[in-house]
Amino acid sequence: MAQKIIELKNVTKRFPGVLANDDVSLHVNKAEIYAVVGENGAGKSTLMKTMYGLHAPTEGEVYIKGKKVEHFSPSTAIKNGVGMVHQHFMLVPSFTIAENIVLGSEPRDKKIFVDKEKANEIVRNLSKTYGLEVDPTVRIEEVSVGIQQRVEILKTLYKGADILILDEPTAVLTPQETEDLFKVIKKLVNELEKTVIIITHKLNEVIAISDRVGVMRQGKLVGEVKTSEVTEKKLAEMMVGREVLFEELSRDEIKGEVLIKAENIVAKDNRGFDGLKGVSFEIKAGEILGVAGIEGNGQTELIEVLSGMRELKSGNIYINNQSTTGFTPKKIRDLGVAHIPEDRLVMGLSKESSITDNMLMGSQHNEKFSSKGIHLKRNVIVDHAKDLIRKFDVRTASEEVTVGSLSGGNMQKVVIAREFSFDTPILLISQPTRGVDIGAIEFIHDQIIKKRNEGCAILLISAELDEIFRLSDRMITLYEGEITGEFKNGEISKNDIGYYMTGNRKESK
């Protein structure tokens, strides 16, 4: 019989007005990979935070290595050998990798100074032991997200963790990095007897890596299964509580005119280098052009330059046959463009404002919502917001709550609802389903296809290849600001497209 390394008994966690965890009992065995899946707001993160001691359960008990946890705090958890890697990394960018890893318990030189050489040595040894390759002397700000995650893992291992909790570890990784991470996890578990608990909403990953899965829904643990005995589809059903179909989307063939045309566009990235180096493409009405690529290869620059948020350095963009050089975002919107941005919190929403006010943005001068464009018609505005909340199934207690208090998936629905409500012929969409749960993904995909079938020209940027392949009519691969290939959907497989996403060029005929 496997040894129970963590056990939760009837854990309930209440926040004011919310029952985040409802009588959850589960255990994790030593040296296994346990996955926790569930929709947004199902209570996964709350449960993990309880395990890591970030808060105490309202009711119930937690046992770690057979010992009851009396005092809930991260320091107790670390003492007990529990380490957590958060979704958002907690690293000091200007410190080297070694400095970050030993931060808080640095090796001392004559008890005063940090012994950097020794720190580097320690990190090199850790690297070797766990098979997590890093260069200890490089600064965090100079390394990729994948490496940063390794550093986070090493940090917890350095503190002596043998139970690792990983919160959405693959959300920020490229497919290659994900593969590497999984290799590391398997090594940690199989060879070094570590225990790994992984929170995720990507079911294919659950199937690929875990030994057992706990499925959460609305705060409850609705099922616990051996991974070998379950399918992706079955897991999705358990998560959502109903069948999830992901049917083939029906497509109408529309041969429309070109609505977006990019000619050799060049744009700077935030560091001042060329993020886009001469990109050309066309999108017709009734067509979805998917942009596949590892994040950070010019996608951000592409959508921002098209929407007017970023300056065009050279080249030409025509929207509806109108050159948009020098246009403000407002002028571009007036040409019939809606834009779902990559980062909803930075660009797509005002967190402190109510849902109503966020839904109004962009149409506040519309005669429908304000007489003469000035006096706001509050009733109409509220009704409009309520209508969109219903149509797009935004889960909220009221239309007056601040958007910042919604879950990520619901925030995304607010953005999509607003941008789709403009009924524009052109849509620029980036990461439409990031952080969105399965049931809602299905819905959002349906909406996008509906827009396409109505004759919209759609640019779709996504880090999820599944999404690109499901929705696009055509796709291009972007690598270091250049297009490396263009394909019709069906012409290439998901596995093969990775070849072009990493810089290899399609031979042009």
When binding is defined by CB under 8 A, the residue of 44, 217, 261, 333 that contacts other proteins is 333
State in angstroms the smallest separation of the CB of 326 from other proteins. 14
State in angstroms the smallest separation of the CB of 365 from other proteins. 6
Query: Which strand (E) or helix (H) includes residue 183?
Result: helix 175-190
Kindly give, in sequence order, each residue whose CB lies less than 8 Å from that of residue 182, ignoring residues fewer than 6 positions away: 205, 208, 209
State in angstroms the smallest separation of the CB of 9 from other proteins. 17
Instruction: Tell me which stretch binds other proteins (CB under 8 A): 72-80, 108-116, 168-176, 372-380.
Output: 372-380
State in angstroms the smallest separation of the CB of 401 from other proteins. 5
CA distances, 50 to each of 24, 63, 148, 180, 305 (Å): 11, 11, 25, 29, 43
> How far apart (Å, rounded) are the C-alpha atoms in residues 483 and 505?
8
State in angstroms the smallest separation of the CB of 474 from other proteins. 27
Angle between helices 175-190 and 145-158 (to 10 degrees): 20
Kindly give, in sequence order, each residue whose CB lies less than 8 Å from that of residue 400, ignoring residues fewer than 6 positions away: 354, 355, 356
State in angstroms the smallest separation of the CB of 15 from other proteins. 10
Token pair of 312, please? 């065009």
Query: Which strand (E) or helix (H) includes residue 234?
Result: helix 232-240
Site for other proteins in 153-182 (CB under 8 A): none
Tell me the number of residues near other proteins by CB under 8 A.
36
In terms of C-beta distances under 8 Å and separation of at least 24 residues, what long-range contacts does 73-78 make, across chains too?
77/51, 77/52, 77/53, 78/159, 78/160, 78/161
Q: Which is nearer to other proteins, 107 or 329 (CB)?
A: 329
Q: Which is nearer to other proteins, 366 or 504 (CB)?
A: 366
Site for other proteins in 128-157 (CB under 8 A): none
Answer yes or no whether residue 370 interacts with other proteins by CB under 8 A.
Answer: yes
* 3-state SS record for 197-227: EEEECCHHHHHHHCCEEEEEECCEEEEEEEH
Instruction: Tell me which stretch binds other proteins (CB under 8 A): 76-84, 153-161, 328-336, 492-500.
Output: 328-336
Q: Which is nearer to other proteins, 13 or 212 (CB)?
A: 13
Collapsing DSSP to helix, strand or coil, 315 comes out as strand
From residue 296 to residue 315, the character string flagging contacts with other proteins as x (rule: CB under 8 A) and all else as - is -----------x-x------
DSSP code of residue 471: H
Site for other proteins in 199-228 (CB under 8 A): none
Answer yes or no whether residue 329 interacts with other proteins by CB under 8 A.
Answer: yes
Q: Which is nearer to other proteins, 65 or 386 (CB)?
A: 386
Token pair of 269, please? 């990235």
> How far apart (Å, rounded) are the C-alpha atoms in residues 427 and 415?
13
Q: Which is nearer to other proteins, 290 or 348 (CB)?
A: 348
When binding is defined by CB under 8 A, the residue of 204, 233, 401, 491 that contacts other proteins is 401
Q: Which is nearer to other proteins, 137 or 407 (CB)?
A: 407
Answer yes or no whether residue 398 interacts with other proteins by CB under 8 A.
Answer: yes
Q: Is the dihedral of CA 208, 210, 215, 216 positive or negative?
A: negative
Instruction: Tell me which stretch binds other proteins (CB under 8 A): 4-12, 187-195, 334-342, 440-448.
Output: 334-342
Query: Of 18, 35, 17, whose CA–CA distance to 26 is shortest?
Result: 35
State in angstroms the smallest separation of the CB of 159 from other proteins. 27
Answer yes or no whether residue 374 interacts with other proteins by CB under 8 A.
Answer: yes
State in angstroms the smallest separation of the CB of 383 from other proteins. 12
Residue pair 436/447 in contact (Cβ under 8 Å)? The answer is: no
Collapsing DSSP to helix, strand or coil, 357 comes out as helix
Token pair of 463, please? 């880090």
Kindly give, in sequence order, each residue whose CB lies less than 8 Å from that of residue 54, ignoring residues fewer than 6 positions away: 72, 74
> How far apart (Å, rounded) are the C-alpha atoms in residues 206 and 34?
9
Q: How deeply is 165 buried, as exposed, middle or buried, from its count of CB atoms within 10 A (0-12, 13-18, 19+)?
A: buried
State in angstroms the smallest separation of the CB of 23 from other proteins. 16
Answer yes or no whether residue 330 interacts with other proteins by CB under 8 A.
Answer: yes
From residue 336 to residue 365, the character string flagging contacts with other proteins as x (rule: CB under 8 A) and all else as - is ---x-x----xxxxxxxxx--x--xxx-xx
Instruction: Tell me which stretch binds other proteins (CB under 8 A): 115-123, 255-263, 373-381, 430-438.
Output: 373-381
Q: Which is nearer to other proteins, 167 or 419 (CB)?
A: 419
State in angstroms the smallest separation of the CB of 329 from other proteins. 6
Interface residue list for other proteins (CB under 8 A): 307, 309, 328-330, 333-334, 339, 341, 346-354, 357, 360-362, 364-365, 370, 373-376, 378, 386, 397-401
